[in-house]
Amino acid sequence: MKRKDASTGQPAETFDALRHRVRDRFPTLSPHLQRIARASLEEPNNFALNTTQVIADELRIQPSTLIRFAKEFGFSGFAEMQRVFRQRLIEGEATVRERVLANSNAATPGDLEAVFDESLQAHVLAIETLRKACNFDDLARATEMLRNARHVYVAGLRRSKPLADYLTYGLLRGERAASLIEFTSGMAGPQIATFGAEDLLVAIAFTPYTQAVVDAVMDAHVSGRKVLTITDKPESPLAQFCDIALYVPTSAESQFQPIAGAIALIHVLLIAIANAR
């Protein structure tokens, strides 16, 4: 049976349904409401756990704007909308750490052979999963975008930093103009502001999505620039504001997610570009 709202007795809206409504309505919202919409999709836990005042302060808006946002989507107030975000936490999956602890049959620290085998199996699984999930039409479109770009800018941090480095290295080896987005110097925003109409941003991020990379995608999207993303699922904030998204599912229950699938995908893109020449 569907869960029911205690106050109305009607089936309660799920977070997935609300998320889709927010995404569909996003272009018609005012700038203030768009700011709230982006935050609700990117940081749903924040909307579930914090008070109206705290959320409003973080977004630099008035609490009344949150109430107006909730009413835009048919809720009586923000408290009623917040119940949807809280229910997501109650019914959602365990954290990666909890899954690791609950399902761990890992080898003892001294059993390096078993650790070696388990690690290789995780990487093989990542590549097999990529093969099943790959959309070759999107892959072909992404390759064409990279071929036609005047300059490719690549954004990636944390686990995605070596992926961004590898893509940039491969493009430069293929004598194509490419640069990493300069996050450490605080110049990512100004750098994106210099993008030309023929330039391309490639953003790479997986759960949990690094906010700086999400912001880079949003800046490029708002500026009307071309964006290609490599991420893990359609619900990713990167996938919502790009021209093409390539997905590398990250389902392995490991404290350290294997990057073999993403590396393989980037290698395919580089080989496809080189072959075109």
Q: How far apart are CA 229 and CA 128, in angstroms?
A: 21
Q: How far apart are CA 41 and CA 233, in angstroms?
A: 13
Q: Provide CB contacts within 8 A for 85, sequence distance 6+.
A: 15, 40, 44, 45, 47, 48
Q: Provide CB contacts within 8 A for 76, sequence distance 6+.
A: 70
**How many residues are given for the chain?**
277
User: Could you state, in order of their start, the residue ranges of all structural domains in the chain?
Assistant: 15-91, 118-276
Query: Over pLDDT 70: what percentage of the chain?
Result: 85
Contact 78, 66 (CB under 8 A): yes
Confidence band, pLDDT 50/70/90 cuts, at residue 251: low
Find where tokens 């993008």 sit. 195
CATH 3.40.190.10 at 15-91, yes or no: no
Confidence band, pLDDT 50/70/90 cuts, at residue 252: very low
Give the relative orientation of helices 31-42 and 63-72 as an angle to the nearest 10 degrees: 80
Which 3 state secondary structure label does DSSP give 26? helix
pLDDT score for 107: 47
For the segment 92-151, what is each residue's pLDDT rounded down to a tens digit? Answer: 544 444 444 444 444 455 577 777 877 888 888 888 889 888 999 999 999 999 999 999
> Superfamily assignment of 118-276 in CATH?
Glucose-6-phosphate isomerase like protein; domain 1 (3.40.50.10490)
Residue-wise DSSP of 229-259: EEES-TTSHHHHTSSEEEE-------SS---
- Residue (of 84, 93, 83) closest to 17 by Cα position: 84
Amino acid at 209: Y
For the segment 28-70, what is each residue's pLDDT rounded down to a tens digit? Answer: 999 889 989 988 888 888 888 888 888 988 888 998 999 999 9
Q: How far apart are CA 50 and CA 47, in angstroms?
A: 6
Sign of CA dihedral 141, 143, 148, 152: positive
pLDDT reading at 256 higher than 80: no
Q: How far apart are CA 5 and CA 83, in angstroms?
A: 10
